[in-house]
Amino acid sequence: MSPEDSLRKYRIQPEWSESYYDLPICLEIVSRIFNGVPIHAQVISVLHPQRDLTEAMKELKQLGIR
């Protein structure tokens, strides 16, 4: 299944996300996250290069997201 097909089942709209966040969206990575692949620092860096990785990982842990 392509990343686009995988995201469609969740009704994810990459165009909206890119417009809202003013960042390009890597559909393959987002699709992997929705399919249960663990989120690690490299994934966060690809999705949001300016994001503070330590803070992001802390927030994910608090939310119970691996």
Cα–Cα distance for residue pair 4/34, rounded to 1 Å: 12
Domain locations in the chain? Answer: 3-63
What's residue 6's pLDDT? 62
- Select the more confidently predicted residue: 25 or 62: 62
**Residue 16 pLDDT grade (very low, low, confident, very high; cuts 50, 70, 90):** confident
**C-beta of residue 42 within 8 angstroms of C-beta of residue 24:** no
**Residue 8 pLDDT grade (very low, low, confident, very high; cuts 50, 70, 90):** low
What's residue 14's pLDDT? 74
Q: What is the mean pLDDT of the chain?
A: 84
pTM: 0.66
Cα–Cα distance for residue pair 32/10, rounded to 1 Å: 12
